[in-house]
């Protein structure tokens, strides 16, 4: 995976995104409600031999960030940067127990985020 450019993410993300100093390819941000969201990209070579990146969002303390449009926009800024620097068209999205494979950013916008992260 090519390195994501934090300065580019933060140009587009309403929340300030920071890199986890202990883990490569891991990032985090804190919402207005104080909830910390950890973002990670993990290689999974069990899907195809050349590997697939899994995108994970973890709210470790399970704090609510209700109807937070800035949360959704921040997540999209990270995903868009991932595609920009890596040129991947498909990836595996895993959020806790929820898993969707071979989805595109448009699919995410029209389905999961519409009902999940503050989209109404």
pLDDT tens, position by position, 16-46: 999 988 887 899 999 998 999 999 988 877 7
pLDDT given at position 90: 45
d(CA 71, CA 65): 8
Instruction: Give the per-residue pLDDT at 115.
Output: 47
Low-confidence ranges of the chain (pLDDT < 50): 89-104, 107-120
Q: What is the pLDDT of residue 118?
A: 46
Do the beta carbons of residue 92 and residue 55 sit within 8 Å? Answer: yes
Contact 77, 116 (CB under 8 A): no
User: How much is the pLDDT for 88?
Assistant: 58
Cα–Cα distance, 52 to 28 (Å, whole number): 21
- Distances in Å between the alpha carbon of 110 and those of 53, 66, 105, 114? 21, 19, 9, 6
């Amino acid at each position: 995976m090519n390195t994501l450019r934090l300065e580019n993410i933060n140009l587009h993300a309403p929340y300030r995104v920071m890199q986890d100093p202990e883990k490569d390819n891991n990032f985090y941000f804190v919402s207005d409600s104080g909830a910390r969201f950890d973002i990670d990209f993990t290689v999974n070579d069990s899907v195809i031999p050349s590997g697939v990146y899994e995108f994970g969002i973890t709210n470790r303390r399970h704090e609510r960030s209700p109807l937070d449009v800035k949360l959704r926009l921040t997540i999209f800024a990270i995903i868009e940067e991932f595609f920009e620097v890596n040129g991947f068209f498909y990836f595996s999205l895993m959020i806790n127990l929820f898993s969707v494979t071979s989805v595109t950013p448009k699919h995410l916008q029209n389905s999961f985020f519409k009902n999940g992260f503050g989209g109404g």
